[in-house]
Structure 1
Amino acid sequence: MIFKVLYQELPDEVPVRERTNSIYVEADSEREVRKKLSDRNYNIEYIQKLDEAHLKYEKDTGKLELEKI
């Protein structure tokens, strides 16, 4: 499964749309995503499991680049 993770770079930063970043992570569950990213000290705002339609959209727009963890 591929998850889209919305996050802030700084752990104490308040989520603001203009400074929200996203990465794509392959994992079996949301818990595994959090475990994989735990050493990065991100302020994770939201983790979304991508369904086939959303995954196709992200690929078509060229935004999908899997994070190597």
Structure 2
Amino acid sequence: MIYKVLYQPNKTENPVRERTLSLYLEAKSSVDARAIVEKNTDFNIELIQELTGDFLEYEKKSPDFKIAEF
């Protein structure tokens, strides 16, 4: 499954909506997606959203859509 992970690049600062970034990740579950991101980055994860159907197709049209690999 494909997940969209919304995150802040720094865990030590308070989250600011304008600095929220996203990445796309392939994982078995949202729990696995969180574990992968936490193991490989210092990001402050805000939300992990499963993308399926029309939502996935919409995100694929974005020029920023790229599956992250760690």
Alignment match, 2:15: 15
How much identity, in percent, do the aligned residues show?
A: 43
Q: Is the 8 A contact 1:5 1:46 kept in 2?
A: yes
The one-letter code matched in structure 2 to 1:55 is L
Structure 2: segments with no counterpart, 5+ residues:
none
For residues 13 and 58 of structure 2, the distance between their equivalents in structure 1, rounded to whole angstroms, comes to 29
Alignment match, 1:33: 33
For residues 37 and 50 of structure 2, the distance between their equivalents in structure 1, rounded to whole angstroms, comes to 15
Alignment match, 1:2: 2
Q: Does 1:58 align with 2:63?
A: no
Q: Displaced runs of 4+ in structure 1, greater than 6 A? A: none
Structure 1: segments with no counterpart, 5+ residues:
none
More deviation, 20-29/51-60: 51-60
Corresponding residue SS for 2:68: coil
Q: TM-score, normalising length from structure 2?
A: 0.89
Q: TM-score, normalising length from structure 1?
A: 0.90
The one-letter code matched in structure 1 to 2:18 is E
Q: What RMSD in Å do the two structures reach over aligned CA positions?
A: 1.1
Q: Is the 8 A contact 1:4 1:23 kept in 2?
A: yes
